[in-house]
């Protein structure tokens, strides 16, 4: 009881790092149509307090990319990028216990706010780790760049995807990157070294229109059923593979979900066209050409007038090496071992900005130091992060950043 009372008495709001975190959470940088000015002003203030270089790159109007830089002892060496995104997903405020942009800290030290896990916490942890290192008089060999990017939650098209192809990004001379991971409900920290390829496919089925009381051949509905059956059968096969192998996680298989069906004019008219949309996440082991050829064959088998197009089609991107050939991973892993951190390496189930960094040949690791039974609440109601986990994450980054910057 005494230890519990002691925990309850901690005033986390007086902690400067927590105060910075709460201030950042209170900026409603929520999709869509975000005004990023308050984020930029907040980050500029932090850069001044840390005596870091501060730059804003405007690759797309109203979509600023903020970069804070701590120049290393050997600035000619390739640098390390610490990436996070400023935007957060929408909220259903009536379903929250506390206002989602209040940064409320409850009696148990839980910090509530949209972005508390995804991923304003990590951006602040980077900065606070650097604050501790500088206060301790530590100098690092490599330069650290802290990037705060827009629009990750809507695909990063006007953010990291474009930024990595600019002269400004190339001038950063990045050799390794850290980005977001995910909370862990166990003692293990989850490390992500790759991502599945996102394919969002629209299949258009055309056919004989007519009166709804008749049985015309060659209708759009018959073709639609054929296509749906093919995709959903493959879905069941992948689900069976996942369910029957406890060593696998969702990132190890291809997921397929029917997300939209469009078409028709009214209930008694056979439509001339129906469209079905599938969200597919291709496992890193999938041959992209073979997978698309399978879709082509299904459309051909479904009948005349069945075509497909892509809303999104990610290229196959090589996973980051997590072995002795990657000196940054060696530095990361050896530090984690010294800290007795239990790591579980996985393929990320969704999509992050890491895929764009890897696409230009830079190894990247997804890591958010949130474990110890932290529930996964990204995009959920009542998103929170416990203050003690947040502060512990800063100390972990102190060691990790030192290791990778001196690799």
The token duo for 289 is: 């050409």
Contact call for residues 96 and 30 (beta carbons, < 8 A): no
Spatial separation of the C-alpha atoms in residues 354 and 147, rounded to whole Å: 12
Burial level of 284, CB count in 10 A (0-12/13-18/19+)?
middle
Residue 27 phi/psi, 5° resolution?
-85, 115
* Active-site annotation holds for 11: no
Spatial separation of the C-alpha atoms in residues 127 and 92, rounded to whole Å: 30
Consecutive H or E run containing 79: strand 79-85
Map tokens 């216990």 to a residue.
97
Q: Is the peptide bond before 32 cis (omega within 30 degrees of 0)?
A: yes
Which residues, 6+ apart, have CB-to-CB distance to 204 below 8 Å?
Answer: 273, 274, 275, 306, 307, 308, 309
Which residues, 6+ apart, have CB-to-CB distance to 274 below 8 Å?
Answer: 204, 205, 220, 221, 223, 224, 261, 262, 263, 264
Helix (H, G, I), strand (E, B) or coil at 53: strand
The secondary structure of residue 380, as a DSSP letter, is: S
Spatial separation of the C-alpha atoms in residues 37 and 27, rounded to whole Å: 10
Spatial separation of the C-alpha atoms in residues 343 and 181, rounded to whole Å: 12
The token duo for 306 is: 């069945």
Spatial separation of the C-alpha atoms in residues 379 and 88, rounded to whole Å: 8
Active-site pick, 118, 128, 151, 152: 152
Active-site pick, 87, 151, 195, 353: 87
* Active-site annotation holds for 87: yes
Catalytic residue numbers, as ranges: 87, 152
């Amino acid at each position: 009881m005494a230890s519990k009372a002691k925990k309850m008495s901690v005033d986390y709001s007086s902690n400067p790092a927590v105060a910075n975190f709460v201030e950042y959470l209170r900026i409603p940088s929520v999709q869509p149509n975000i005004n990023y000015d308050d984020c930029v002003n907040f980050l500029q203030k932090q850069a001044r307090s840390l005596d870091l270089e501060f730059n804003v790159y405007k690759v797309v109007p109203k979509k600023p990319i903020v970069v804070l830089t701590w120049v290393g002892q050997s600035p000619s060496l390739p640098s390390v990028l610490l990436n996070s995104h400023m935007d957060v997903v929408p909220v259903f405020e009536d379903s929250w216990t506390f206002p989602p942009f209040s940064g409320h800290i409850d009696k148990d030290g839980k910090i509530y706010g949209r972005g508390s896990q995804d991923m304003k916490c990590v951006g602040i942890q980077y900065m606070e780790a650097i604050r501790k290192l500088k206060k301790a008089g530590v100098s690092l060999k490599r330069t650290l760049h802290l990037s705060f990017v827009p629009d990750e939650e809507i695909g990063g098209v006007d953010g990291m995807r474009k930024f990595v192809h600019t002269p400004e990004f190339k001038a950063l001379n990045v050799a390794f990157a850290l980005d977001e991971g995910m909370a862990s409900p166990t003692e293990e920290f989850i490390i992500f070294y790759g991502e599945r390829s996102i394919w969002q496919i629209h299949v258009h089925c055309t056919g004989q229109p007519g009166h709804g009381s008749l049985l015309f051949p060659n209708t759009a509905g018959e073709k639609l059923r054929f296509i749906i059956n093919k995709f959903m059968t493959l879905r069941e096969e992948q689900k069976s593979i996942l369910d029957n192998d406890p060593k696998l996680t969702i990132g190890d298989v291809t997921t397929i979900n029917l997300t939209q069906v469009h078409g028709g004019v009214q209930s008694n008219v056979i439509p001339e066209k129906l469209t079905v949309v599938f969200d597919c996440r291709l496992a890193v082991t999938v041959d992209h050409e073979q997978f698309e050829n399978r879709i082509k064959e299904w459309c051909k088998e479904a009948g005349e007038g069945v075509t497909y197009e892509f809303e999104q089609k990610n290229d196959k991107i090589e996973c980051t090496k997590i072995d002795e050939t990657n000196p940054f991973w060696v530095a990361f892993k050896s530090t984690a071992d010294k800290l007795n951190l239990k790591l579980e390496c996985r393929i990320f189930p969704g999509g992050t900005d890491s895929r764009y960094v890897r696409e230009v040949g830079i190894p990247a690791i997804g890591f958010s130091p949130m474990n110890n039974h932290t529930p996964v609440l990204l995009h959920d109601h009542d998103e929170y992060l416990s203050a003690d986990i947040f502060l512990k994450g800063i100390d972990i980054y102190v060691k990790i950043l030192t290791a990778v910057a001196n690799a």
